[in-house]
Each structure stands twice: as C-alpha cells, then as structure tokens.
Structure 1
Amino acid sequence: MSEQWVETTLGEVADWSAGGTPKATNRSFYDGGDVPWAIISDIQNGPLRETAKCITPAGLDAIGGAKKVVPEGAVLVSMYGSVGRSAIARTPMATNQAIARGVVGTQVSPEYLFLWINAHEGQLDQMARGATQRNINKQIITAFPIVLPPAPVQERIVEIIGAVDDHIAALDAEVGALQGVYRAATSLLWGTAEGDEAAPQLLGNVMHLDVVRTPMEAGTTYRLAGVLNAGKGLVDKDEFDGADTEYAAMNILRENQVVMRKLTAWEGPITVVPAGFDGFVASNEFPTFTLADDIAPGWMKHVCRTPRLWAEMQSRVVGTVQRRKRLNPDQLLLVALPVPSRREQEQAAEALDAIEGQVAVIRAEATRLRKARAGLLSGLLDRTIDIESAELEV
C-alpha cells in the first residue's frame, strides 16, 4: 500500500489524563443519581460491559485511590492484573458517565487504538512489573509503541475486524439462547408420556454405592480426574506416579457410573463418567455409584446438571465450616426425584443431547473465528495481509 504508516508511541497519540478526576464538590459527571462504577473485572478485552454495579456519590468519595471520569470513546487499560493477562476495554461513543481507573483517552480512532493494544497485549505484559501481580504505570503505557496508519486505513481495519466481531457476537448470542432452551427443556427429565411429572423415587432405589479401590504403587502411572461443579462433567488432571501421592489407595472411575465430590457438594459436583474417563482415579472424596438397569446413563447425566438436584444436595450437607461441609453417599441416596420410565428417560436425554450438540457446533465455530480474527488482526496491523483482499473475504 502507498499510504504512509507512522511509528510512534501511545504517549504521542493518546492523553493519559483524559476525563479528569471526579471531585467531591463537582457532580457534573452525573445527573444526580448513583454513579456507574467500573472495576477491573468489568474490563474484559472488549466493550466495557454494561453493569448493574453503581455507587452513591458518598460511596465514591469514600473509595481510596485514583479515579477518572471516562470520556466518550475512551480506551481503558487496567494498571493491575494477573501476569499474562491484560485487561483492556473500550467505552461506547455515547457514554461518558462511568468512573474507572487508568484511562487512556485518544486523539486517534479509539477503535483502532483499542485493536492495536489488544493485538499487542503480550508485549504489554512483558513491559509490566511484578512476579505475580501485573503492574503498569504511566511511563510504561505512554512509551508503548504503536504504528499509526492514515485515518482512512484505520477505519477500514476497524470495519473488517468489526464485521468478524459481529459474527462472533451473533454466535455467542445463539449459544446463550440455546442454553436457555436447554434449561427450559430439562423439565422433560421429570415428565411422563402423558405430560405429568413422574412419581418420585429415592436415588437409593435407582443407584447404589459401588466403590472399587486400587493401591497406589511406585512405578505405576495413574490418571487423575476431577469433578466440575454444576454437573459439567470431569476434568483430566494429568498423569502421576503412584509414588507421588500421599494416598495409599484411590477410587477407580468406571464408565456410566455416577461420581460426586463430597466436599462443597452444594455446588453440584456430580456427573456420569463418560467412556473417555473409564479407569481414571480419584481420592476417597469422590464416591462412585452404579445405576440400576432401568436407569439410562444419558438421562442421569442431564439430571446431574439440574439445579433441582443441586438444591437437594445442598439441603443435606453437614458440617459447621461452609467450605468444609460435606455430603456423604448415604445422604445423597436419600434424595427423592421424579423418575420416568427408561423409554421416557431416553427420549428426554435424546432431546437434550440434540440441543447440546448444536451448542457444541456453534461454540466450535466461534472458537475458530476468534482464532482467525487474531491472525487477521495481526496480519492487517503488520501489513502482511492486504486490506483489499481481507475486505473481499469478510
């Protein structure tokens, strides 16, 4: 391209002091009500999230540390955060009321400035100080290098990436909608063919405690599993040698068994073991249960994802210290839930599996697009990708 790109720094093109510090005696930045208040968790490498968090003027005055009124179209960079993770955001062009820390106002296209910082956040992290707590300051951010194309080129890059972002946002919205459909469809788990709720049964009638222990032997490799909250399944926690654990023996997980975590059971750490985790091990904090013949494992998998089951588990935990409360196997087996026929279970599971399958496909497409977006943005900014060809593809 023939347009001239200029190598400069953020300090040359952006105003660190943009927005100004709100004064206790000057309420011009709000209309008399509570003040929208942004914190680091609201800065998620994208548009500043609309948040219900507001603060009274008196509360704002009571908070220590520097604060700024965010101007329209500002780019925000958090001064603190975990090493390896930048926190960058941009504000809508029509919003100037939010209060935040560490604002970089802009004299160039705010959308382009955001894209540049976002694409080079790894470089920003390398400039940050601190071993575990990321810390940047005015000197670091103002010295941060930026390559600035002419305004028309900035706009074209923003439009190209914006089109991809719109597609990703649409996919994310579709996932959210399908998750809502899934939550509503879990009512099928309890229903009969006639549309009534099935008669309740104790879990002790549909499954029984069935724990198989294996000794931990030096020189033998085992694979450790963990149980995720909210019935979300199992997580592979990697291999280990039998000599590298303090446990003399551990529980073996077997396909189609139910496994739960006794500790923090109110968070729903319960699931059905899939084929890929058959033979994994877990400590005795993870009891296993074998289902009766008239219980479909696929149905039980979805039951484990329902707040109805988690609430029953929560009501039965024992202990005095919240994070150390446990649910014992015999208490779980006293939970009563509607249990339809095996055929009705399978039909409900099939319907919910179909929704899950759609969610998985859409999420995979969104992941692919995010990866492609990163490569496209990098190529546009370092000029290894031609803008005209990118516009045609998008």
Structure 2
Amino acid sequence: MNRLFAKLPISEIASVERGKFSARPRNDPRYFGGDIPFLQTGDIARAGRFIVGWDQTLNAQGLAVSRLFPRGTIFMSIAANVGDVAISTFDAACPDSVVAVIPRNGADAEWLFQILRHCKDGLSSLATQNAQANLSLEKITPFRVPVPPLPEQCKIAEILRTWDEAIEKLEALRAAKRDRLTGLTQKLLGIGGAFPDRWKQRPLSAISTRVRRQNGGGDHPVMTISAKSGFRLQSEKFSRDMAGSSVDRYIVLHEGEFAYNKGNSLTAPYGCIFPLDRPTALVPFVYFCFALKADLSREFFAHLFAAGALNHQLSRLINSGVRNDGLLNLNPEDFFGCKVPVPPADEQSAIASTLTTAKQEIGLLETEIETLTRQKRGLMQKLLTGEWRVAV
C-alpha cells in the first residue's frame, strides 16, 4: 500500500485573505455600477471550475472600501454555501463573506483548487451555525490537507482537469438541449397561456373527473409533490413519514391520475401539477386530484401542465397570496374552472411524442453527468490522498 501524503496546514501552501466591503449601509448605490466585478457567494455557487459571470459591480468609490484580487484567484464562500470554491478568470473584488486563496511556496494553483473542493465537507463542518453558517479565517488556515510533491500536484491536476472538461462538455450539451426543449414547448404549446387559436378550450371540469377516493387501509406509499421533481416519497423529502394519524384522510391516487399541489414555491409560484407514475399512492387531502377522460392523452397534458399552462389563469384566481400553512388561497371550483386547450387526438399524440423524446435526451445526459461526477469523486479520494500514486 502506498504511503499517504503528509498533511500540512493550508497556511503553508496558500495565502488566505478575507474580502472586504466596509461601506455602510451595504446597499448604498453610490458604490456600485462601475466596471469592477464584485463577487458574491451566489456567483461562486453557480460557477463550475471557473467564474465567468457576476451580478454586481463596484465603481472606483466602491473599490476604495473593498479589495481587488488578481485573475486566477481561488475564491471560497465562507457564508451561506460554505466551502464552495471557483477560480476567477478576471480581476475581481469581493465582500467579507468570501475569501481569496492564492497559492504560495510553489503550490500548483489547479491542484490547490481540487484539494479545496475535495475538502469542502471538512471545512464546512467547522462553520459556526448561527442565523446562517459562517466559516472564519482562523479555522481555514490551520486546516490540514494532504500535500504531494509539486510534480505530482501538477499531474493530479492534469488528470482531474480531463474529467472536469468531460463533465463540462456534457453540462453544456444538457444546457443546449434544455434550451431546445423550452423552444419546442413554446412553439408547440404556446407562451404564457396564449394557445394556438385552432385549439378548442374547455374547463378542466369538462375533461376530467375529480378524484377523492379515501384511504381504505391498503398498502400504498405516502407521497408528496416537489415542484422540481414531481412525486416523491414523503419519507425521502422530510427524512421521516409525516402523515401520522392523518393518513386516513389522504387521497388514494391511481397511476396516470393527476394531482395539483397548491403549495407556493420559487420554482412554482402558482403550484404544480403532475401525473402519478406508479400503481398507487396516498397524497395529502389538500391536493386537488383528477383523472382525465379516457380519450385524452395523459402524456400531452402532463407536458402542458409542466409548461405552466394554467399559471396565467391561476394568477388571477388566487386570493390574497399564501396562507399560514404555505398553501395558495384557491378553491376547487375556481381551479377546475380553468380552461385548457384540447387539440385533436392525433395532434396531442404527436406533440407528446416530440416533447417526451426531448426530455428523455436530457435525462440520458443527466445520468451520464451523475455517473462521471460520482466516478471523479472516487478518483479524487484516491489521488489527492496518495492512496493511488501517479507516474511523473
């Protein structure tokens, strides 16, 4: 077995400097709007290896109360998304919620980035947990990381760069296919509730039957709806089964039937509708559930609802925002009174096939990205610790 690399404090391989912005109030507009990138924790979270964009800039007055770091600096978030790292491709300033990490004593910059990324969990575990997590400079600099000789640092960085580039290419392709799906959806289904004129529109109540069947004690999984991913086991979302004694009031949903979760979220401000993709499930009684008439394409209407086809109508029907329980103020009569387009059956089928194929292509890419990411994570564990040695 190979001897593992010796561990050294981060302070011996890098200088770590906290960002700065001493103006008060922090949102004083006199300091912003220039041409100097002012990186925030969110810019780092959205980046891959490299930061290529930013949301905020400083002017000369703002820079005077901040600090500028050179292109190639590794920026680390020490608040909110603690431990996230990315390399800047430009000179940039940052506030004190971000630290700048610059290699020293001959350390390779790309290897340093990889080891910091690998140690994210260890670093974030040191953060204080107040209103929001925060990692101090005093805890970063003594943190010990395995440090190989410089030639091995460079080789390890080269190997991991190859994996990163492969993942980045797949992510770029996924982004392009998502854009294509958005374009196809708008072309085929319309935009903002403006459906093709040739399609008849009918109330949801006229093309579906409301489902209210009670739980009779069968062995059904208890599920909830996530705006991002559709139906999920309630125990997975909340780490425990939250139904308790109220499960008797839950609705039994059958495969292919739809449920509307009128919970408000950033992803779905007017709630979301999904069809059930398994034989049966118990869903909260506050959901509005329905089954489409037999001559309609469930696949087509799943795409239609996923595209937010009812949002324009719902935005006018929802009364006074969100209740204390997080649900939108909407009654069943208004929901089932929403009008939906009903194209001819052959057109429903053709549109559904096109959009499903586009979604499946994205799904295959996501699986490939997840696989490569998981493999790279295992490779990092081996290479960065010295368990596997590289020839130089």
The answer to whether the Cα contact below 8 Å between 1:189 and 1:345 also exists between their aligned partners in 2 is no
Q: 1:23 to 1:137 in 2, by over 3 A?
A: closer
Report the 3-state secondary structure (helix = DSSP H, G, I; strand = E; otherwise coil) of the residue aligned with 1:76.
strand
Q: 1:263 to 1:376 in 2, by over 3 A?
A: closer
Report the 3-state secondary structure (helix = DSSP H, G, I; strand = E; otherwise coil) of the residue aligned with 2:233.
strand
Residue 340 of structure 1 corresponds to 343
- In 2, Cα distance between equivalents of 1:353 and 1:387: 44
Question: Which stretch shifts more, 346-355 or 206-215?
Answer: 206-215
- In 2, Cα distance between equivalents of 1:3 and 1:134: 35
Q: 1:4 to 1:296 in 2, by over 3 A?
A: closer
Residue 377 of structure 2 corresponds to 374
Pick the aligned partner of 1:53 from 56, 78, 95.
56
- In 1, Cα distance between equivalents of 2:75 and 2:297: 51
Residue 317 of structure 2 corresponds to 316
Residue 359 of structure 1 corresponds to 362
Q: 1:350 to 1:285 in 2, by over 3 A?
A: same
Question: Which stretch shifts more, 39-48 or 298-307?
Answer: 39-48
**Map 1:215-226 → 2, pairs under 5 A:** 223-226=221-224
Which AA in structure 1 matches 2:299?
G
Residue 257 of structure 2 corresponds to 257
Return the offset for 1:342: 1.7
Which AA in structure 2 matches 1:328?
N
The answer to whether the Cα contact below 8 Å between 2:321 and 2:329 also exists between their aligned partners in 1 is no
Residue by residue over 1:310-347, the C-alpha shift from the partner in whole angstroms, topping out at 9 and shown as x without a partner, is 22322221235575532323222222232112222112
Return the offset for 1:241: 8.6
Which AA in structure 2 matches 1:13?
I
Return the offset for 1:142: 1.1
**Map 1:174-213 → 2, pairs under 5 A:** 174-186=173-185, 187-189=187-189, 197-213=198-214
Pick the aligned partner of 1:96 from 91, 96, 103.
91
- In 2, Cα distance between equivalents of 1:32 and 1:146: 39
Report the 3-state secondary structure (helix = DSSP H, G, I; strand = E; otherwise coil) of the residue aligned with 1:313.
helix
- In 1, Cα distance between equivalents of 2:298 and 2:33: 57
Residue by residue over 1:147-182, the C-alpha shift from the partner in whole angstroms, topping out at 9 and shown as x without a partner, is 333333222211211111111111111111111121
The answer to whether the Cα contact below 8 Å between 2:201 and 2:339 also exists between their aligned partners in 1 is yes
Report the 3-state secondary structure (helix = DSSP H, G, I; strand = E; otherwise coil) of the residue aligned with 1:270.
strand
Aligned-residue Cα RMSD (Å) equals 3.4
**Map 1:288-303 → 2, pairs under 5 A:** 288-303=289-304
Which AA in structure 2 matches 1:284?
F
Which AA in structure 2 matches 1:327?
L
- In 2, Cα distance between equivalents of 1:23 and 1:332: 51
Pick the aligned partner of 1:237 from 234, 245, 249.
234
Report the 3-state secondary structure (helix = DSSP H, G, I; strand = E; otherwise coil) of the residue aligned with 1:284.
coil
- Taking structure 1 as the reference length, the TM-score comes to 0.80
Which AA in structure 2 matches 1:16?
V
The alignment covers a number of residue pairs equal to: 364
Question: Which stretch shifts more, 165-174 or 152-161?
Answer: 152-161
The answer to whether the Cα contact below 8 Å between 2:322 and 2:329 also exists between their aligned partners in 1 is no
Percent of matched pairs sharing the same residue:
21
- Taking structure 2 as the reference length, the TM-score comes to 0.80
Q: 1:284 to 1:60 in 2, by over 3 A?
A: farther
The answer to whether the Cα contact below 8 Å between 1:221 and 1:241 also exists between their aligned partners in 2 is no
- In 2, Cα distance between equivalents of 1:308 and 1:147: 53
